Amino acid sequence: MDFLTIHQLSVEFDIPARVVRYRFHQLRQSNKLVEGTDYRRDDFVDDQHFFWKINPVSFMRETRLKPVTKAKNPVTELGSKPPSGDTKVVNQPPPLVDQPFPGGNKVSSQSENKTEPPPATPTVEREMLDFLKGQIKVKDGQI
């Protein structure tokens, strides 16, 4: 069995690394884990510079933790699948079509799109921008 670092154990059990470190030190101080068979110090430079390597089987036995089965990553699943039946392009500008203007000139359809009213409910981004603009006005007034 390969020894794992504290970070690797935290990923394996899906708990924070500080919790793994705390439990490991508790087990080590109570002599429930034996140095050499259950854990070791790798890349030892001095007492402050090394990596704890822990036997995951011994750690599981003493802490009664179970490894978490990893769910499939939806991002990689989407990237590996071919596109579904709906292959409509999103956020593509409308095609430029010359249309007669009431005064006799021709205007593209993009100029019409610019006159669309804003959405009825303000978005979070819009609210944040308005809030920050208000803060800037206050700061300008203070200066």
Read off the pLDDT of residues 35-64 as tens digits, 9 standing for 90 and up: 888 888 888 888 888 888 998 888 888 888
Averaged over 78-86, what is the pLDDT?
A: 61
Buried b (16+ CB within 10 A) or exposed e, 57-82: ebbeebbebeeeeeeeeeeeeeeeee
pLDDT over 60 (residue 78): no
In residues, how long is the chain? Answer: 143
Rounded distance, CA 7 to CA 56, Å?
A: 12
Task: Give the Cα separation of 23 and 131 in Å (integer).
Answer: 46
- Rounded to whole angstroms, what are the CA distances from 126 to 43, 94, 114, 135, 139? 52, 24, 18, 14, 20
- Does the model's pTM come out above 0.75? no
The identity of residue 31, as a single letter, is N
pLDDT in tens, 99-131: 665 555 555 555 555 556 555 666 788 888 888
Start-to-end C-alpha separation, the chain: 66
